[in-house]
Amino acid sequence: MEKKLGLRARFNFYETLEASLAYQEHSKFLTSLAGTWDFLFCSSIQATPAAFLEGKYDQLEWQTIEVPGNFEFQGYGTPIYANIDYPFALVPPRVPFENPTGLYHLSFEYHKKLDGQQILRFDGVESAFEVWLNGRFLGESQGSRLMTEFAISELLKEGKNELALRVVKWSKGSYMEDQDMWWLAGVTRDITIIEESEIQSIKVTPKLEQEQWTVEIKLKRAHQKRLEFGVFNEGEVVCDFRSVSEDATFAALKIQQPKLWNYETPNLYTLVARIDGTVYLPIRFGLRRIEKINQILCLNSEPILFNGVNRHEFHCQKGRALTKEYMKEELIQIKRAHINAIRTAHYPNHPYFYDLCDELGFMVIDECDIETHGFPEQASLCQDPLWEEAFCSRGLRMVSRDYHHPSILLWSLGNESHFGINFVKMAEKIRAYDSTRLIHYEGDRECQVVDVYSTMYSSIDELKARASKKISQMPHILCEYGHAMGNGPGSLKEYQEVFEQYDSVQGGFIWEWKDHGILVEDGTQTSYKIGGDFGEYVHDGDFVIDGLVLPDNRPSPALFEYTKIIQPVEFFYHGNQLVLRNKYKYKQLTGVKLVWEFQNKEQTVVGEISSISPIDPGTLSEVLSIPAPAEVNGVISFRLIPLEPVGVFQPEDIFASEQFEYEASYQKPGRTETSLEKTIQYTQSDSFIQVTMEETTVTINLHTGNISSFVKQGTELLNAEMNLSLHRQQISNDAEIQKIWNESYLRELFSYCRKFAISKNQTTVFLLIDQYIAPPQAPWGMYVKNKLWLLDGKLTRDCEIWFDGQAPSEVPRIGWELPFQNKVAQVSWYGRGPGESYPDSHYSSHIGQYQLDAKDWAFPYVVPQETGNRMAVEQAKLLFEDTELELVCARPLNMNLVPMTANQNMNYRFKQPEDPLQRVLRIDGGMRGLGSHSCGPKPLDKYLLKSEYHSMKFTLA
Ligand code: IPT
């Protein structure tokens, strides 16, 4: 008779409702067999003593072993660390004769508590085992990180019982388990006897249809006992117990006032089946939907951004046998680092891990225990029909075991195993079993069966290259990136910028959480052992030391770096005004205080705002005025600190932080106490925002995201929108490259506002405007993030620019243009002067204070061309007939005043200039050098202006 159970979820029975809702594995219907077992270690299967096979356990000279535990950590055999290469010959399905084998034996007392079935459950044995109960063979199993259950009612006796296991390190299954980790063996997870009543299998599926959440329940029943279902949320009754008919195998319960599950607010419900009024079976579930909307992965309709980590199960003194306390501590540590997602690299984890993820809130990619990395592609097991069953059953065993966990959003078919028909079959079967989740597998490069395009270690350029294709395509995630080996990884910030800008790139998972060094004590010395330290012939040395934390979970600098980069709060600061953005997607930011600290070489000034009003998800805080801490330059740091414990965060934690330069003069340009009292007026419609401060009125076009009007003392300064520009009039020395620029249509750029957010108080308006700016036709453009501050009668633009797509590798200049309506009479400035200056030609132009009539600004080249740039400008004043405009640059910028006709040929955009003195003011963050390419070399590399990241900040008043 086949005693092994088929596919089903993992569940337990309890004797009270309270115990079932507590969802811990403490129940009189559960008997853990963890503890000290008799043990015999053999060098091969063949060395098994006959007495063991005959069930004559008392004839054997036993040693002992702890269950759960790995052999190698208890003095039996040695670990082997290898990444890709198998440490044995590839002759599947044969395994080496020398095969570390463990014989286990346990005598235990048992008294049945129910008249139902008794089940013997193994949560994980590496790599394969056979089991005997009271001398009778029950069966065998493999799949190191998967559950196996046996029906034992017929063999289990009242009173004394004897359980025996034979566990081997190498099995056919080892070919499927070539993960980059230590090769270990043993009973690594719990062994439990479960008393069951009535329900043999249960599948609970929350569904949203026509805005109504319903939980559907499918059952396999043993008898026809009285069965009722109830639903609970945080101990409260959501649906009171109600009966289902005696033979019903299906039920559906409606959930009113649903509280959705997400990783920030992980609301959990529990469905409880009550059997005969005395036995309780709980299944926890969450109301949440994972789907693709317009090719974007969404959780409850919100686009997902994975700030994730790959996590192995590893303890430096225990191997893969982790205690619940240890798992919980580790997951809390991960949560406190603001990490929101975990890929179970590269196998299904301990069942308790998922309970924790459901409770604490993580998005999980649950990965199947399949890796055949060391096989050459042409001999890959995923193409061999003999292995089809192994692929499919491993997939289904994972999916059925873990089906109920809301934290699992994607099933991953495995890791690094090439691609072939067995994966196609496996994906089909998984989808048939579970239509509510999506499928991941990095090896499916052509996306034949997966729902998401997944890559490893792609460069930032590769990510951008794919993302900037302007076609709808599979969402892209990095299932591994940021290799944290030793000191590293670098450039996490640049990756994050790509994740946050490109909708189709939805984040990634750092490789990896932890270094897997094995702690060994040699007398008084302890050290971490790596590959090769145990005398392995095939090994990969320190490639196993590639985590964000040390083997004992001490954080490495990389964890602090990652945490900072993914922190859920963005800070915007200018002129002693601070705005926070809550980057949580579902959760309010609340219960924090703000601490600020000014510092320079001489002094430190500290202060705080003791509580910050709640900030809704995705929105900006109110404008927070920070009292001016100093009248000298320095840095100012901000820290958000929880006021009291919230979730995993403690009052001593720094929840988020940021530092800015504090420039005393720039913080308060001309600011007086009286100007502070001057309020602003603000109007907003669907298409524009208008702000009036003192004598100035600024209008922002919400379609383009540009400033469309700038009125000073009743005079409109602008002739057209203030726009980003890359163009300069052709220079003789640019003739060659100008062809490329002309073909790239650099002259005219179109602006679109992608997103905007606003925060204001009586004296300040802060606008966060994300633009996409692109030339006609071209397959490229720029993402522009603008932070606009309107305060003290001044407008400050702080912006960052990222090139997207196949832009020409260099551009002539980059900056903002103000096309003026009125004639500029005179300019005074502090910067290089008095004549023009360019990056590779400025040594005769010293920095100083200068003044010129506008008509004398440019040099009259015989062949008209670009002229007039002034470098290193910190301040300038432009005089018009009836008003003036002041420019203050936070860091020195380029400035130029060019005739409108010379600058633009899109005259249709402007009112025709009436006068050659009608000018365009350019404020440029970057300017290409001149070189002498008309008959000689290009500018030196350092004087080229690359199409990459640029930023600038200036104030206009
Ligand atoms: C990738 C593996 O998936 C992962 O398990 C780990 O080995 C990582 O590399 C390196 O530490 S595979 C690699 C060939 C990209």
pLDDT in tens, 201-233: 999 999 999 999 999 999 999 988 999 999 999
pLDDT tens for residues 558-576?
999 999 999 999 999 998 8
pLDDT (0 to 100) of residue 915: 66
pLDDT tens for residues 621-647?
999 999 888 999 999 999 999 999 989
pTM: 0.94
Distance, first Cα to last Cα, the chain: 88
pLDDT (0 to 100) of residue 670: 43
For residue 351, give the 3-state DSSP assignment. helix
Pairing of strands 341-343, 306-310: parallel
CA of 516 to the centre of ligand 1 (A): 14
pLDDT (0 to 100) of residue 641: 97
CA of 462 to the centre of ligand 1 (A): 18
Nearest-atom number in ligand 1 for the CA of 512 is 11
pLDDT (0 to 100) of residue 669: 45
- On whether the CB atoms of residues 438 and 451 are closer than 8 A, the answer is yes
Q: Which CATH number fits domain 680-956: 2.70.98.10, 3.30.70.2610, 3.40.50.720, 3.30.450.20?
A: 2.70.98.10
Question: Which region among 54-58, 520-524, 815-819 has the lowest average model confidence (pLDDT)?
Answer: 520-524
Rounded average pLDDT over 576-592: 96
Question: For ligand 1, atom 12, which residue shows the shortest CA distance?
Answer: 416
Q: Name the strands in the sheet holding 696-701, side by side, starting at the edge strand that comes first in the sequence.
A: 680-684, 688-693, 696-701, 707-712, 715-716
pLDDT (0 to 100) of residue 913: 55
pLDDT (0 to 100) of residue 115: 86
Spatial distance between the Cα atoms of 153 and 53, rounded to a whole number of angstroms: 22
Q: Name the strands in the sheet holding 159-168, side by side, starting at the edge strand that comes first in the sequence.
A: 63-67, 35-42, 101-110, 159-168, 128-133, 136-142
Which amino acid is it at 512?
E
**Residue of 693, 752, 758 lying closest to 723 (CA atoms):** 752
- On whether the CB atoms of residues 904 and 747 are closer than 8 A, the answer is yes
Average pLDDT, the chain: 94
- Sorting pLDDT into bands at 50, 70 and 90, what band is 148? very high
Rounded average pLDDT over 251-261: 96
Spatial distance between the Cα atoms of 227 and 489, rounded to a whole number of angstroms: 55
Nearest-atom number in ligand 1 for the CA of 456 is 15
Rounded average pLDDT over 748-754: 94
Query: Both tokens of residue 787?
Result: 């932070």
Is the preceding omega at residue 350 within 30 degrees of 0, hence cis?
no
- Sorting pLDDT into bands at 50, 70 and 90, what band is 902? low
Per-domain boundaries in the chain = 35-189, 201-290, 324-513+555-563, 567-662, 680-956
Which single residue is written with the structure tokens 């690094």? 416
Please list every protein residue whose CB sits less than 6 Å from any atom of ligand 1.
83, 180, 346, 415-416, 456-457, 480, 511, 543, 546
Distance of CA 623 to the CA centre of its chain: 28
Which CATH architecture describes the domain 201-290? Sandwich (2.60)
Q: Name the strands in the sheet holding 30-32, side by side, starting at the edge strand that comes first in the sequence.
A: 30-32, 191-195, 118-122, 148-151
Which single residue is written with the structure tokens 């994975």? 306
pLDDT (0 to 100) of residue 761: 87
Question: For ligand 1, atom 15, which residue shows the shortest CA distance?
Answer: 456
Q: Does domain 35-189 have CATH number 2.30.30.110?
A: no
H-only helix segments in 267-385: 324-336, 351-360
Rounded average pLDDT over 765-788: 95
Spatial distance between the Cα atoms of 375 and 380, rounded to a whole number of angstroms: 6
- On whether the CB atoms of residues 80 and 87 are closer than 8 A, the answer is yes
- On whether the CB atoms of residues 689 and 683 are closer than 8 A, the answer is yes
- On whether the CB atoms of residues 37 and 230 are closer than 8 A, the answer is no
Which single residue is written with the structure tokens 């919980």? 328
Q: What sign does the CA torsion over 450, 456, 461, 462 have?
A: negative
From 83, 368, 462, mutation site for ligand 1 pocket: most ligand atoms within 8 A of C-beta: 83
Rounded average pLDDT over 327-353: 98
Helix (H) or strand (E) holding 682: strand 680-684
Percentage of residues in the chain having pLDDT higher than 90: 89
CA of 536 to the centre of ligand 1 (A): 20
From 81, 180, 483, mutation site for ligand 1 pocket: most ligand atoms within 8 A of C-beta: 180
CA of 424 to the centre of ligand 1 (A): 23
From 177, 377, 416, mutation site for ligand 1 pocket: most ligand atoms within 8 A of C-beta: 416
pLDDT (0 to 100) of residue 792: 85
From 313, 368, 480, 513, mutation site for ligand 1 pocket: most ligand atoms within 8 A of C-beta: 480
pLDDT tens for residues 341-356?
999 999 999 999 999 9
Rounded average pLDDT over 485-493: 96
pLDDT (0 to 100) of residue 469: 83
pLDDT tens for residues 538-554?
999 999 999 999 999 99
Spatial distance between the Cα atoms of 296 and 294, rounded to a whole number of angstroms: 6
Nearest-atom number in ligand 1 for the CA of 83 is 7
**Residue of 638, 604, 645 lying closest to 624 (CA atoms):** 638
With a cut of 60, say whether residue 903 has pLDDT above it. no
- Sorting pLDDT into bands at 50, 70 and 90, what band is 677? low
Which CATH architecture describes the domain 324-513+555-563? Alpha-Beta Barrel (3.20)
| Number of residues that this document lists for the chain | 957
CB-facing half-sphere around the CA of 66: CA atoms within 13 A: 12
pLDDT (0 to 100) of residue 748: 87
**Residue of 79, 41, 73 lying closest to 536 (CA atoms):** 79
For residue 425, give the 3-state DSSP assignment. helix
Nearest-atom number in ligand 1 for the CA of 84 is 7
Which single residue is written with the structure tokens 């929108």? 721
Is the preceding omega at residue 127 within 30 degrees of 0, hence cis?
yes
Pairwise pLDDT comparison (548 vs 915), residue with the higher score: 548
User: For the chain, what is the largest distance between any 2 Cα atoms, rounded to a whole number of angstroms?
Assistant: 111
Nearest-atom number in ligand 1 for the CA of 345 is 5
With a cut of 90, say whether residue 1 has pLDDT above it. no
Which single residue is written with the structure tokens 């069965």? 227
Angle of helix 388-402 relative to helix 351-360, nearest 10 degrees, comes to 50
Rounded average pLDDT over 254-276: 97
pLDDT (0 to 100) of residue 628: 87
Question: For ligand 1, atom 7, which residue shows the shortest CA distance?
Answer: 180
Which CATH number does 567-662 carry?
A: 2.60.40.10
Q: Do the two domains 201-290 and 567-662 of this chain adopt the same fold?
A: yes
With a cut of 60, say whether residue 89 has pLDDT above it. yes
H-only helix segments in 750-799: none
* Phi, psi angles (nearest 5°) of residue 849: -95, 125
CA of 303 to the centre of ligand 1 (A): 27
CA of 309 to the centre of ligand 1 (A): 13
Rounded average pLDDT over 863-883: 94
pLDDT (0 to 100) of residue 881: 87
CA of 513 to the centre of ligand 1 (A): 13
Give long-range contacts, CB 8 A cutoff, 24+ apart: 342-345: 342/308, 342/309, 342/310, 342/311, 342/509, 343/308, 343/309, 343/310, 343/311, 343/367, 343/412, 343/479, 343/509, 344/311, 344/412, 345/179, 345/310, 345/311, 345/312, 345/415, 345/480, 345/509, 345/511, 345/512
CA of 373 to the centre of ligand 1 (A): 9
CA of 484 to the centre of ligand 1 (A): 11
* Phi, psi angles (nearest 5°) of residue 560: -65, -40
